Structure 1
């Protein structure tokens, strides 16, 4: 762990602890990032937590749809304004705008539901994936590299990230395929609050959602002149989730066109339970394209 970083998990939880500034209004701060911009997963998680603060107990988010509108600036606080769209017998809907300098950087709608019985089935987790203990971590791959981005992902990130079949941190994959499997787990233990765990899943997945686009196009994170940014994000939570237990992201990229690429993921608990599905489109541009 690098000097000055005591506990990445605790640092993240502090950033997600929003301050109430008015009726349905909150304020949050941002964690430092190697590129100096606000991390999209962070503001998405904060927007969901802000919405959740206005929802009655017993209702958890089952879906969100958000658009990343502008790049955020890390040193400036972020204001979160929640609009109460609907409070029904089973479902609650909220819209959250995240703003800096009075301008929206994210707009998100989330739906919450009281726990109810109903038909229950799910896809099965792939059986040919090695377990997390058999896969090298970002610390193993990047821990000795003297570069700000490498130091961040190896030491300062709140999540232990392990790519099955090799990462694309330092170079492109051997095969140009849109399939990717990644194990994720928070570096530290977390409270039992299910809203927090669902928000942290939104935070964590933004780190890798566009990687299948890079894999399928034969690129990596060190591609010279590449420009990449999240445009929108959709997420569905199917069942309770613990992000301090190992989760497997089974990812694909069905399409890329017009300077945009689509990433999709199914998220499984280590016991095979399907806990969430995710889709994200991003701007992905290369200098030769």
Structure 2
């Protein structure tokens, strides 16, 4: 866990919560854990992840082996979309997170999980943040969506709509799917960095899979402790970006009055259904490894 990382412990974060990566201080075992996770995910994501994810991996040379060095990674990412990755010691306050995104900076945890957490951990580590999130930041339309999200987050703080915006992030950036001609594909970082959820999200008959709708998503509860019981699928990143290109002021005003939250398993009359799930996994109590 991050507090056990001596490189984190010896640093005093800056005002924006950033710390130095100190890449040369990673041990060979930490690099080996990255390599094992990378090989595992590349294998399980075959036929499951969107092509844009692989394009990002290749453009940023994330397959070179070992935890990426930000001094090497960031110039490549900046040249493509103007973004950079910054290291943080732990989860940062909401206003800090939104400010980083609004200024094209993606905060990534420095620590990497232990071998007893290869499939799942609660707090995002460097593998989740860089392998899961950064490849799509090499694609301009998704990078623009992330910046717009950061700008929207700063505004949401003023309207007491942070939970609504968190649901949007959860169901897109972390657990989003894309409906393609080849079938359902993954783009969410929370899925692509998890071996078991990579399979569950697109192959298992248990969860509902519905078409993405902005307001619907922002009024829908989610799970933080197990596989999702519903996933929302876009048809393109352009669709996702277009949905955020509106004045969120009236939307926030509406949501500040309407606090209704849809239960996770609800299917509404207005939903476009891709898969009506059995919910067998959740009804059996879950078994996430």
Which bin holds the TM-score, normalised by the shorter protein?
under 0.3
Using the size of structure 2 for normalisation, the TM-score is 0.25
Using the size of structure 1 for normalisation, the TM-score is 0.25
